[in-house]
Structure 1
């Protein structure tokens, strides 16, 4: 298992779930294609959620959560961030994660779960890092700031 970097912390976009503004797709879809397009992104997200829900460090954050909707919004968000032909229609990360008391340990655990899903789907390490770099700035909107 590779160590978790601050860059990968970005993945709590995975805790993403939703966000109230629409974002448009980018012209360069090479990252999206490297993940296998819509089907590849969906497989990674499905495998990530299987990991997250089985992981005692992350599963409690999803008790009673609408997993089907979370996956749908995460698919939109990942697709859009990777330059695919999608529009993200969920809520902001800050609003979505408000009051959830997400700490660094939980965030890093989720990143590990995403990384395992990407490994399982044969996504090369350098390609994984490209996605994680796009997710990284979202961490500050997800973390608990008491």
Structure 2
């Protein structure tokens, strides 16, 4: 039997192949295409209050993760939480406006490899599990985030 986390990893890989390359390569914020949001995802994530709780949990876990916590030691947690909340809110079809940097610019000097990216995804999955987000909704969100790996991973 296939482990559910393996299915999520597979969904991320497949999602990155299925999303139009032009969308993934734009210099604009990754959420610039509101039509890409799956219907009902924003509501399934608990709207802004649910997304805020998820990002609070996620950022706290990131800072404590021995694999990737070092990447966040110079980051103000409250600012990261707010930025991620707006980004996920907008990506999922909510009314928020993400005004942060595009993913390529934001991660250009961070020396992020595939292992770091995968660790971050695992931490996000753990946070979503802890927040009671159903598996299907987790996959819908991860499919939206998957194409960002092209711009986030800076060490090949």
TM-score between both structures, scaled by the size of structure 1:
0.83
Shift of 1:2: 2.1
* Secondary structure of residue in 2 paired with 1:5: helix
The match for 2:95 is: 85
The count of corresponding residues between Structure 1 and Structure 2 is: 138
**Structure 2 stretches of 5 or more lacking a match?**
16-26
The match for 1:5 is: 9
Contact 2:112 2:155 in 1 (8 A): no
Contact 2:113 2:154 in 1 (8 A): yes
User: 2:125 aligned with 1:123, yes or no?
Assistant: no
The match for 1:48 is: 58
Higher-Rg structure is: 2
The match for 1:13 is: none
Of Structure 1 and Structure 2, the greater helix share is in 2
* Aligned residue runs from structure 1 range 59-98, under 5 A: 59-98=69-108
Cα pair distance change 1:50/1:8, threshold 3 Å = farther
What's the C-alpha RMSD, in Å, of the aligned pairs?
2.4
